Structure 1
Amino acid sequence: MKTVILAAGRGERLQPLTSTRPKPMVYVGNKPLLQLVIENLRECGLKDIIIVVSYKNEYIMNYFENGYDFGVNIKYVFQKTDSGRSEDAILAAEPLLRDEPEFLIAHADFLVDKEMINRAINNYKRLKPEGVISVTLVKEPHLYGVVSLDEEARIKRIIEKPERGKEPSSYAVAGIYIFKSSILQSLSENHSLDVTIQNLINSRKHVYASVWEREWVKVRYPWDLLKANELYLKHLLTGKGSYISEKANISNNCTITHPVWIEEGVTVKPGAVISGPVLIDKNSFIGTNSLIRPYSTIGKNVTVGFGVEVKNSIIYDKTQIGRLSFIGDSIIGAGVEIGAGTQTINISFDKTPIKFNTQDETVDIPLQKFGSVIGDHAIIGTNVSILPGRQIGCNSIIHPGVILYQNVPEKSLVKVSQSLQITDRID
């Protein structure tokens, strides 16, 4: 069975991380999200993969090439329109699908367990329906495509992002579909995917739900990456013990508790405390008396200085964090320089919801604690305080001592104005 991965998204809500990479290439567990999707598909025996690309397509194509290094065979198709519609992406792959009896669709911005994929495949083989869609119960169904089911798990109705309070159920579409290739004809008649599926149902063709009860993540906003990172680390480490490379340089006077994954070339200095689940990638440096707290991932060639605390954060490759800084519930891009004493404040001082502003909307972050999102190659001076939910664009410079209370566009310079008063000393 061929698989189509929908990977053409821009990821505007994930700015500034997606200023320099397409949405499927943001990191979870020190790997691009798309790589995790491909690895799960491969483990389910799905090795013939079509990736639909558009925005910054060269980033994806140069990374995965023909898929050989990842144990799969990859072909690429281009989505010419920038509509963001799933049906346009699927139709872009139609020339490679028309001779197939069926195909699987996976979204590149969903982190799902491989067993969710296996369950959908097994249900399709057992029931031999027109289609199977993975679904799961959610607390806020209005944010998703929603389905209602009959007593045999046949889908009766599908609605994309229904109005709050008018959802037909709490079962949300979870990003995995399997259909007979005959669906392509209906899509080509300019129907949306949900309308096409509803038309199948109305014509008495069976589309079944494959119900999933465990965790999964749809990545829309930066805090979804933290949730996905937590899920990945649980899967990697929980109940499996630690992995510490023989080529890592770990001080006898540091403390490591709970499962960790530490790659070759990593240095951990005396007095450091690492409390897993934590992943530290190749050739990174963890300084004296630093504290790495659970659900943090630290990329390749990262420097964490003396007395730094990192909590529940994603640190991309080649970033440097100066001494006595605090990085909490934050995502720090590649090649960022953070000066000594910088604080990513992760809680609102008045306990009100933390706001997250994008170009198009302002969102209440559904977490009590969330820090900053810092784009690639930003430079943060010493003793900078960054208020919760703020974004710093790529290649921006923040001068020392700034209290940053608003977002910073890319390639910006931020400094404070101050006046010094120097008078005679009075004894």
Structure 2
Amino acid sequence: MKTLILAGGIGRRLCPLTNTIPKPMLPLGGKPTLEHVIHNLKDAGLKDIIIVVDYKKDQIMDYFGNGYDHGVNIEYVEQQQMESVEAAILTGEKKLKDEEFFFVAHADVLANPEIITRTIETHENLQADLTITISLVENPSLYGVAVIDEEARIKKIIEKPKKGTEPSNFAISGLYIYPNEIFQAIHSTNILDQAIQKFITDKKRVYACVWEKNWSEITYPWDILTANEFVLNNLLKGKGSFISETADISGRVKIEGSVFIGENVVIRPGAMLVGPLYIGNNTYIGTNTLLRKYCSIGNNVTIGFGVEIKNSIIFDNTAVGRLSYIGDSVIGRHVEFGAGTQTWNLVPGNKPIFMNFNSQQIQVPREKFGAIIGDETFIGINVSIFPGRKIGYKSIIAPGVIIEKDVDSKVSVVAKQSLETKKIE
């Protein structure tokens, strides 16, 4: 069975990170998100892959090539029409014209290979015409929702129902097995949900594969942290540590839990690492640094003296100055994070954190959440960043600034102050 991966979306809600990096290439545990998806498909036996690309496609195609280095065969199709899941699926029509059934995965949905295997087994055992993976969630209004009967036969699909009107808590988990006839159904209805509903109305065998374990979909910035936790748990938790022979770890470095330490990493005395934790190649960890659970530190990163980082992702080639604090945040590539700079990750009184998306305020579904900082931004010393704030790429923040609101890309921010001088008697 061939697999169609939908990887052409822009990921607007993830800006400023996706201003410079396509969403499938956002790093988690040292690898692009899409690489985790591809390896899970391979482990489940699906090695013939077609990737739908569009936005910043060269970054994806240059990295994965023909797929041989990853143990799979990859072909690419470019999405030419409007940005929609329907257009993305139709982009693969010619490549899949001889397939009776094909598997569909989203490049931003992470699950372990077992869910893929179970979806295939469910499809085959029930002799289904169409199979969709679903999971129980607490907030179904954020997802497409399926209504099923006692035999797991799907009776209805509703896309993101209004809160309080959800007919069930079964969310569609982003994995599908479609028959070739789905193309004609999309052509005739123009809407995927209606195309699936047509199969249901026509008494086709449309079944759900119910998945009880964790999975992760990346839609909002906080989802990146959840996905990173998912990846690090799968990579390390309960599996011991991997420490490269070329790593230079000084005395009095304390390690708790499972950690991955890459090649030529330098860790100076007094540092403490608490896993699960990932540190990429050629990274420097300064004296008395504290790296807490669920940090992913990229390649060629420099972390100065006395820095504390907690549950955060630091992309490649970034430098964090001494005595800084980064909590529950995502920091882009080539960022200069000034000494003494702090990300606030908690509103006093445990009040909700809100983020702004195109003038719409959305509550962050986490008690703690820090900052999102785009590539190549320079942040001066002793800057304070409020919870849930975004700083665009290639911006400059002057020393001592308090970032109370989002900062656009390619701007400079300076705090005005007045000085009063008095003679000392």
| TM-score normalised by the chain length of structure 2 | 0.98
Shift of residue 332 of structure 1?
Answer: 0.3
Cα separation, 1, equivalents of 2:271 and 2:303: 10
Contact map agreement 2:189 2:195 (CA 8 A) in 1: no
Match of 1:49 in 2: 49
Moved over 4 A (4+): none
Amino acid at match of 2:410: K
Question: Residue 95 of structure 1 aligns to a residue in which SS?
Answer: coil
Match of 1:158 in 2: 157
Match of 1:81 in 2: 81
| Between 369-378 and 347-356, the greater mean CA deviation after superposition | 347-356
Question: Residue 94 of structure 1 aligns to a residue in which SS?
Answer: coil
Cα separation, 1, equivalents of 2:202 and 2:234: 41
Shift of residue 25 of structure 1?
Answer: 1.4
Match of 1:361 in 2: 360
Match of 1:17 in 2: 17
Cα separation, 2, equivalents of 1:245 and 1:65: 27
- Number of residue-to-residue matches in the alignment: 425
User: Can you list the C-alpha shifts for 1:146-185, whole angstroms capped at 9, x where unaligned?
Assistant: 1111111111111111122222211010000002112211
Amino acid at match of 1:194: D
Q: Percent identity?
A: 53
Match of 2:219 in 1: 220
Question: Residue 35 of structure 1 aligns to a residue in which SS?
Answer: helix
User: Can you list the C-alpha shifts for 1:193-248, whole angstroms capped at 9, x where unaligned?
Assistant: 11111110111111110000011111111111101111111111111111111110
Cα separation, 2, equivalents of 1:31 and 1:82: 29
Shift of residue 76 of structure 1?
Answer: 0.9
Cα separation, 2, equivalents of 1:127 and 1:204: 15
Cα separation, 2, equivalents of 1:404 and 1:52: 38
Cα separation, 1, equivalents of 2:419 and 2:166: 60
Question: Residue 394 of structure 1 aligns to a residue in which SS?
Answer: coil
Amino acid at match of 2:104: I
Cα separation, 1, equivalents of 2:392 and 2:100: 46
Matched, 1:291 2:269: no
Cα separation, 1, equivalents of 2:359 and 2:423: 53
Question: Residue 42 of structure 2 aligns to a residue in which SS?
Answer: helix
Contact map agreement 2:291 2:309 (CA 8 A) in 1: yes
Cα separation, 2, equivalents of 1:190 and 1:211: 27
Gaps of 5+ in 2: none
Aligned ranges 1:270-281 → 2 under 5 Å: 270-281=269-280
| Between 14-23 and 179-188, the greater mean CA deviation after superposition | 179-188
Cα separation, 1, equivalents of 2:355 and 2:240: 37
Aligned ranges 1:257-406 → 2 under 5 Å: 257-406=256-405
Q: Over the residues paired in the alignment, what is the CA RMSD in angstroms? A: 1.0
Match of 2:197 in 1: 198
Question: Residue 307 of structure 1 aligns to a residue in which SS?
Answer: coil
Cα separation, 1, equivalents of 2:324 and 2:166: 45
Cα separation, 2, equivalents of 1:418 and 1:167: 52
Amino acid at match of 2:8: A
Contact map agreement 2:52 2:76 (CA 8 A) in 1: yes
Match of 1:36 in 2: 36
Cα separation, 2, equivalents of 1:190 and 1:56: 29
Cα separation, 2, equivalents of 1:377 and 1:24: 20
Cα separation, 1, equivalents of 2:333 and 2:90: 34
Cα separation, 2, equivalents of 1:30 and 1:406: 30
Aligned ranges 1:168-179 → 2 under 5 Å: 168-179=167-178
Shift of residue 81 of structure 1?
Answer: 2.1
Cα separation, 1, equivalents of 2:89 and 2:363: 33
Shift of residue 350 of structure 1?
Answer: 4.1
Contact map agreement 2:102 2:177 (CA 8 A) in 1: yes
| TM-score normalised by the chain length of structure 1 | 0.98
Taking a change above 3 Å as real, the CA distance of residues 8 and 360 of structure 1, as seen in their structure-2 partners, is farther
Amino acid at match of 1:26: L
Cα separation, 2, equivalents of 1:338 and 1:164: 39
Cα separation, 1, equivalents of 2:157 and 2:229: 30
